[in-house]
């Protein structure tokens, strides 16, 4: 019975999306939150069932056997990621209710929630699917939904940012489709199990080396464009800073991670860890990650707007994930997953805290208007401090555990001489760009602000944003303290990924 | 080498189209021309995929009597999905283009970047 | 075989021409002709379902969408759309 839950958790948001369209806007909000909450419960139940029995389940759609039918496959890793993504989606939609109602025109709110449901459905299907073309189709669905969400803001900047995001994302999908077509023409399979066998036999006999190298390069290029790894990060700062803040929280938290989870599945299930570690491409990927860490941190130090700082910080943190994927050993892959989890939680919390601080500062996020915002909105400031400390890497918080695991796994591999100093340097640079932000927030309050009320009336029940920020803070602290348990779940997931 | 080129002229044309579309997407300044470039880029990829699925001497993949060899119908399915995705994305991007024009009265991407920054000040 | 080569050559020439023309109206018309010839190429590759889809969707729907957008951005008339920026 529990094995049916992933299938339902993919299709429930799609039905909720359809229902969002039909009625009044108020019901759209209820449908979205209800369906996301049910998806979260289903994913947690699946995770509990899978982890306690140490299973990896292959689910045949429609009872058709392997080469003819489609498959969903889930182990501990997929169930954990699905729970995380639906949880973050629920918290950002719940906490961002007031901000979304202010920023988006009321007649368009139904479509906003519809796109958000479709985004969640697409991301869950990418995580769960066992077939490379199904994943491609849902990648496209997620791309269109994410671009619609970015363009939903009322300013012209978000329109241009959405157009650039769309063009670059489609270029990435085109490269991915080219890689899929070469892969299909040399192996003849589309399901991951068949692909893994064919690629193993091709590598063993040494035939088709040039097509295999080309298609791996195309896949990495396509997925790097979509998840903003260093040379292809151009769309990210504009897209994150011009979208409405709950949307930025959603995009920064879960969308870019999903493509990296897909890359992880390709490495473990299709190419095989041994083949990936022997390719020059994994070293190039690692080098791009290193440059992302340094470039993101250096650019983040120059910004004068809080959302721009957080966007460049995202580029830097995603660099850690790609460094871990480039190293390629099992502890490194688990460290990559842990960094994904920790960054998803912390960055979403930082963006929601920015929403809270901006609400108390007349809706703007530049450093000039945010001076002293900590006194106007203490809960949001507390959440910002916790998130910033976690991403910099202060001990009990999960960001520190992620960097520790990454450094431990890199020391055991031949690239340790490069990775460990870069992690230390990245930590120092991270402190250097979060400190001006914290100093601005806790700086002296300008007198004109302190007796001005917030101009937007509350059309929604109050205290939703502080409540969701409270849940975020407690989840982050819990993740930091229970890091070894989470490590075990992820490790079992990655070992069972084959 | 020349035999290879003569046998695979579909794939070579497909890659030329991909390259032309890609250079238009990146280098041209007008937004509508960028979209046309994206469409040509995608259709190059579909042409490549269809050419990989073609088997010489095969017949159209519709079941009929007395036919021994059909061409591979799976890439055709993949391309159909791709064409539909391409059209829906073009429709969405054109909606964005219309809204941008109504707001800024220009479709040149350099001028748009400057205008957008100026509006934010 | 020579028919196929001629059609593919037309595709490449049309693709290059689309980007060398200054007026948007010309570019969209040449793009629509590109779609029609591509539909014929699908037939030569023995994929009738692709030919129908390409003709109906990519030429029909996508072409109509481009023309509607050209009308909205006032590039339809031959006199108005002399600059590329419009």
Give the number of other Cβ atoms within 10 Å of residue B110's Cβ. 10
Residues with Cβ within 8 Å of residue A312, at least 6 apart in sequence: A237, A296, A297, A299, A300, A303, A433
Cβ neighbours of B13 in C, within 8 Å: 8, 11-12
Among B51, B100, B101, B114, the residue to mutate for chain A (most A Cβ within 10 A): B100
Nearest chain B CA: its distance from C78 CA (Å): 17
Indicate the SS3 state at residue A456. Answer: coil
Q: What per-residue confidence (pLDDT) applies to A340?
A: 92
Closest approach of B121 to chain C, Cα-based (Å): 24
Distance (Å, whole) CA A250 – CA A229: 18
Strand partners, A74: A57
pLDDT, residue B115, reads 84
Check if the interface score ipTM surpasses 0.85. Answer: yes
The Cα of A341 is separated from the nearest Cα of chain B by a number of Å equal to: 31
Which residues in A lie closer than 8 A to residue B41 (C-beta atoms)?
A: 171, 174
What is the rounded radius of gyration, in angstroms, for the C-alpha atoms of chain A? 22
Q: Is B47 in CB contact (< 8 Å) with chain C?
A: yes
Can you count the helices (H) and strands (E) in chain A? 23, 2
CA distance C36 to A174: 22
For testing contact with chain B, the best of C47, C64, C86 (most B CBs within 10 A): C47
What are the two backbone dihedrals, phi and then psi, of residue A366, each rounded to the nearest 5 degrees?
Answer: -80, 160
For residue A344, the surrounding DSSP H or E stretch is helix A330-359
Nearest to B98 among C54, C57, C72 (CB): C72
Q: How far is CA A138 from CA A125, A133, A135, B82, in A?
A: 7, 9, 5, 12
Contacts of A74 (CB under 8 A, 6+ apart): A6, A46, A50, A56, A57, A59, A82, A128
Closest C-alpha to C27, from A436, C73, C47: C73
> Can you give the CATH number for the domain in which B14 is found?
1.10.287.3510
Written as six digits, the tokens of B52 are: 């990989």
How many domains in chain B? 1
In a 13 Å sphere around the CA of C1, the CA atoms on its Cβ side amount to 5
Q: A82 to chain B, minimum CA–CA distance in Å? A: 25
Q: Tell me, yes or no, if B85 comes closer than 8 A to chain C by beta carbon.
A: no
Residues forming a β-bridge with A131: A191
Q: What domain range is B51 assigned to?
A: 2-120
pLDDT score of A446: 60
C8/B21 CB distance under 8 A? no
Q: Which residue of C has its CA nearest to B84?
A: C57
B55 to chain C: nearest residue by CA?
A: C45
Nearest CA in chain B to C61: B87
Low-confidence ranges of chain B (pLDDT < 50): none
| Candidates B9, B10, B106; nearest CB to C85 | B106
CB A376 within 8 A of CB A451: no
pTM: 0.92
C19 and B CB contact within 8 Å: yes
- SS3 label, residue A256: helix
Q: Do B75 and A174 touch (CB under 8 A)?
A: no
Give the orientation angle of helix A132-150 with respect to helix B74-104, to 10 degrees: 10
Q: Do B28 and C42 touch (CB under 8 A)?
A: no
Tell me the sheet residues that pair with A57.
A74
Element housing A428 (H / E):
helix A416-441
Count B/C contacts: CB-CB distance under 8 Å: 119
What is the distance between the alpha carbons of residues C15 and C26, in angstroms, rounded to a whole number?
12
Q: What phi and psi, each to the nearest 5 degrees, are found at residue A348?
A: -65, -40
pLDDT at A182: 93
Q: How far is B75 from chain A (nearest CA, A)?
A: 8
Instruction: Out of A140, A162, A181, name the one closest to residue B48 (CB).
Output: A181
- Span A424-453, pLDDT tens digits: 998 999 888 888 888 888 877 664 554 444
Cβ-Cβ contacts under 8 Å, A184 against chain B? 49, 52, 74-75, 78
Burial annotation A292-323 (CB, 10 A radius, 16+ → b, else e): bbbbbbebbbebebbbbbbbbbbbbbbbbbbb
User: CA triplet B105, B109, B113: central angle to 5 degrees?
Assistant: 85
Regions of chain C where pLDDT drops below 50: 80-86
Contact call for A and C: 3+ CB–CB distances under 8 Å: no
CA distance B20 to chain C (A): 7
Contacts 24+ apart (CB under 8 A), A266-271: A266/A219, A267/A325, A267/A328, A267/A333, A268/A333, A268/A494, A268/A497, A268/A498, A269/A192, A269/A193, A269/A195, A269/A196, A269/A497, A269/A498, A270/A132, A270/A192, A270/A195, A270/A196, A270/A199, A271/A199, A271/A216
Q: Are B96 and A177 in contact (CB < 8 Å)?
A: no
- How far the first Cα of chain A sits from its last, in Å, is 24
Tens digits of residue pLDDT in A141-178: 999 999 999 998 778 888 999 999 999 999 999 999 99
**Does B have 3 or more CB contacts under 8 Å with C?**
yes
B61 touches chain C (CB under 8 A): yes
Q: Are A310 and A370 in contact (CB under 8 A)?
A: no
B-chain residues near C45 (CB < 8 A): 10, 50-51, 53-54
Rounded mean pLDDT for each run of 10 residues along chain A, 498 residues in total: 86 90 81 90 89 81 77 87 92 86 82 91 92 93 93 84 93 94 90 88 87 92 91 89 88 91 90 86 90 91 87 92 89 91 92 85 77 80 89 87 89 84 90 85 63 43 75 86 85 80
Question: Which pLDDT belongs to residue A55?
Answer: 76
pLDDT at residue A221, rounded to an integer: 93
Interface test with B, best of A181, A185, A303 (most B CBs within 10 A): A181
How many alpha carbons lie under 13 Å from residue A174 in its C-beta half-sphere? Answer: 29
Q: Residue A459: which residues within 8 A CB-CB, separation 6 or more? A: A98, A101
**Cα B87 from Cα B55, distance rounded (Å):** 28
Which residues 2-31 of chain B have a CB within 8 Å of chain A? 18, 22, 25, 31
Residue A315: closest CA among A407, A431, A232: A232
Residue C85 has a pLDDT of 46
Question: Is the CB of B38 less than 8 angstroms away from the CB of A167?
Answer: yes
Q: Which chains touch B (3+ CB pairs under 8 A)?
A: A, C
Q: At A314, list the tokens.
A: 């995202």
């Amino acid at each position: 019975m529990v094995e049916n839950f992933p299938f339902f958790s993919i299709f429930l948001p799609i039905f909720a999306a359809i229902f969002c369209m039909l009625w009044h806007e108020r019901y759209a909000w209820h449908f979205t939150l209800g369906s996301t909450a049910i998806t979260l419960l289903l994913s947690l139940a699946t995770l509990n069932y899978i982890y306690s029995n140490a299973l990896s389940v292959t689910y045949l759609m429609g009872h058709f056997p392997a080469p003819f039918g489609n498959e969903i496959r889930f182990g501990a890793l997929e169930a954990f990621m699905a729970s995380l993504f639906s949880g973050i989606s629920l918290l950002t939609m719940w906490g961002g209710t007031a901000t979304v109602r202010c920023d988006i025109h009321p007649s368009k709110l139904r479509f906003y929630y519809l796109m958000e449901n479709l985004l969640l459905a697409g991301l869950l299907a990418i995580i769960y699917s066992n077939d490379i073309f199904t994943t491609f189709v849902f990648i496209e669905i997620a791309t269109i939904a994410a671009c619609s969400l970015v363009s939903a803001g009322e300013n012209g900047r978000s329109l241009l940012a959405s157009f650039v995001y769309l063009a670059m994302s489609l270029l990435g999908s085109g490269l991915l489709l080219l890689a899929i077509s070469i892969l299909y023409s040399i192996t003849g399979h589309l399901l991951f199990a068949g692909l893994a066998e064919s690629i193993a036999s091709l590598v063993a006999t040494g035939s088709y080396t040039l097509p295999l190298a080309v298609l791996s390069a195309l896949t990495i290029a396509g997925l790097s464009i979509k998840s903003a790894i260093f040379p292809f990060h151009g769309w990210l700062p504009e897209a994150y800073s011009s979208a409405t803040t709950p949307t930025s929280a959603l995009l920064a938290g879960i969308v870019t991670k999903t493509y990296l989870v897909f890359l992880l599945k390709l490495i473990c299930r299709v190419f095989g860890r041994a083949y990936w570690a022997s390719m020059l491409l994994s070293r190039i990927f690692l080098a791009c990650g290193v440059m992302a860490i340094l470039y993101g941190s250096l650019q983040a130090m120059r910004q004068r707007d809080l959302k721009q700082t957080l966007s460049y910080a995202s580029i830097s943190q995603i660099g850690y994930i790609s460094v871990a994927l480039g190293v390629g050993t099992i502890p490194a892959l688990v460290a990559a997953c842990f960094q994904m989890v920790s960054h998803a939680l912390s960055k979403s919390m930082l963006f929601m805290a920015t929403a809270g601080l901006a609400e108390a500062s007349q809706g703007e996020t530049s450093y000039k208007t945010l001076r002293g915002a900590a006194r106007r909105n203490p809960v949001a400031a507390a959440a910002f401090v916790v998130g910033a400390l976690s991403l910099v890497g202060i001990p009990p918080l999960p960001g520190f555990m992620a960097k520790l695991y990454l450094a431990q796994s890199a020391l055991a591999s031949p690239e340790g001489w490069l990775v460990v100093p870069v992690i230390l340097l990245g930590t120092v640079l991270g402190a250097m760009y979060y400190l001006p932000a914290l100093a601005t927030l806790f700086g002296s309050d300008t007198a004109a602000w302190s007796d001005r009320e917030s101009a937007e009336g509350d059309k929604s029940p109050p205290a939703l944003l502080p409540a969701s920020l409270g849940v975020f803070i407690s989840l982050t602290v819990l993740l930091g303290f229970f890091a070894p348990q989470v490590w075990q779940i992820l490790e079992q997931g990655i070992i069972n990924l084959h | 080498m020349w035999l290879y080129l003569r046998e695979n002229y579909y794939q070579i044309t497909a890659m030329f189209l991909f390259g032309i579309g890609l250079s238009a997407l990146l280098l041209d300044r007008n937004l509508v021309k960028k979209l046309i470039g994206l469409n040509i880029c995608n259709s190059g990829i579909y042409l490549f995929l269809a050419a990989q699925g073609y088997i010489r001497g095969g017949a159209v993949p519709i079941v009929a009597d007395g036919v021994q060899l059909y061409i591979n119908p799976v890439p055709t399915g993949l391309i159909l999905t791709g064409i539909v995705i391409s059209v829906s994305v073009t429709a969405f991007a054109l909606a964005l283009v219309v809204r941008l024009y109504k707001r800024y009265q220009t479709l040149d991407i350099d001028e748009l970047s400057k205008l957008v920054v100026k509006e934010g000040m | 075989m020579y028919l196929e080569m001629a059609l593919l050559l037309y595709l490449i020439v049309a693709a290059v021409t689309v980007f060398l023309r200054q007026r948007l109206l010309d570019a969209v018309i040449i793009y629509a002709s590109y779609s029609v010839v591509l539909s014929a190429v699908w037939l030569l590759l023995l994929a009738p379902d692709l030919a129908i889809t390409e003709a109906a969707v990519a030429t029909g729907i996508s072409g109509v969408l481009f023309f509607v957008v050209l009308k909205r951005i006032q590039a339809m008339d031959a006199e108005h759309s002399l600059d590329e920026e419009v």
